[in-house]
A and B are shown apart, each in its own frame.
Chain A
């Protein structure tokens, strides 16, 4: 039941964020949205790594923070240069999020199918033996 951990953490985080309302200047809202996107990508990447047995907590945490901050900074820089790097960040992180989700889905499906196939094979054998 390891998937309870992220859900639980997410709920706690949302709760904290609701109780302690952090007032961000409205001009920063755009950069925050990119940061959220980057953070979401990192978190999903972390979950994917758990499935792939390459999980490293430190890598996840540093990646999470630095990705979020860098994405926001990049978007800010883009605004300063009047280049829509914001769009690039949304695009890239959007793709990565979908990729991560797809990978996670594959892993879950594989595990499920493996179990199911084992059961099905055993069942087949049982029938044949009879």
Chain B
């Protein structure tokens, strides 16, 4: 084995380096080929297609279910919102009735000029309620379901009280409701205004488009009363 050609190693090395490059390129290409879709056999492709179609149907069903759920939740949410707003309306109504919140609206104010008995005050308030007043207050005392109008006597003077608190003169009664109706209920012939005028008590009534009544911050604590269940 003589080396007739000088530098045969170099030729051999170059040849085999090229061969190595070719082989590794071929392996690389073959790997790409195996993972390439266009080079797959028809049966493989049809199996792949079937699998993918199945998967697609599953996903479609899932999507439909999710959309259905979404719709249900949205309906629930809307129902909840409606419920919530109706509850809120009811709460506002009850707060206005109970005096837990301040109230504003059209109404009248009555300035009493003269000496007033507590029974006169009760009659005025009752007349206002009867005329459809939605809220009534004497000075700062809001008349609620548990309000009581009375009087206390000292040695020299009698004070009117509302809920046990002395009402200072001058008295101002304010009511919210249809202001014309409220006024008529007091000033009708033979009404309370007429009666009081016999005793030199004059009611100066002013009609307001908007009048504000303060809230009754102290609400009664209920310890005994309970709401009976609907079935009872």
Contacts and interface: CB of A to CB of B under 8 A. Distances in A.
- Note whether A and B form a binding pair: yes
A107 to B, nearest CB: 9
Contacts of B21: 13-14, 16-17, 22
A10 B22 CA distance: 10
A36 B22 CA distance: 6
Nearest to B7: A57
Most chain B CB within 10 A, of A7, A18, A65, is at A18
A26 to B, nearest CB: 6
Contacts of B4: 53, 55-56
Contacts of B26: 29, 32-33, 36
Interface string B40-82: 0000000000000000000000000000000000000000000
Given A26-B39, A53-B4, A17 B9 contact: no
A39 interface: yes
Contacts of B39: 26
Interface stretch (B10-18, B173-181, B182-190, B194-202): B10-18
Interface in A15-72: 15-18, 21-22, 24, 26, 28-29, 32-33, 35-36, 39-40, 42-43, 46-47, 50-51, 53, 55-58, 60-61, 64-65, 68
- 3 nearest A-B pairs in the assembled complex, by CB-CB distance: A13-B20, A57-B11, A17-B24
Given A10-B20, A33-B26, A60 B15 contact: yes
B224 interface: no
A63 B15 CA distance: 10
B23 interface: yes
B8 A55 contact: yes
B60 to A, nearest CB: 33
Most chain A CB within 10 A, of B5, B9, B24, is at B24
B32 A32 contact: no
Contacts of A5: 9, 12-13, 16
Interface residues of A, number: 43
Given A26-B33, A26-B38, A29-B33, A50 B25 contact: no
B145 interface: no
A26 B16 contact: no
A11 B20 contact: yes
Contacts of B38: 26
A12 B9 contact: no
B35 to A, nearest CB: 10
Contacts of A35: 22
A53 B78 CA distance: 95
B45 to A, nearest CB: 15
Contacts of B24: 13-14, 16-18
A28 B36 CA distance: 14
Most chain A CB within 10 A, of B8, B36, B39, is at B8
A61 B14 contact: yes
Given A5-B9, A50-B1, A61-B11, A43 B25 contact: no
Contacts of A58: 5, 11
A90 to B, nearest CB: 13
B17 A32 contact: no
B55 to A, nearest CB: 26
A64 B15 contact: yes
B219 interface: no
Most chain B CB within 10 A, of A17, A22, A51, is at A17
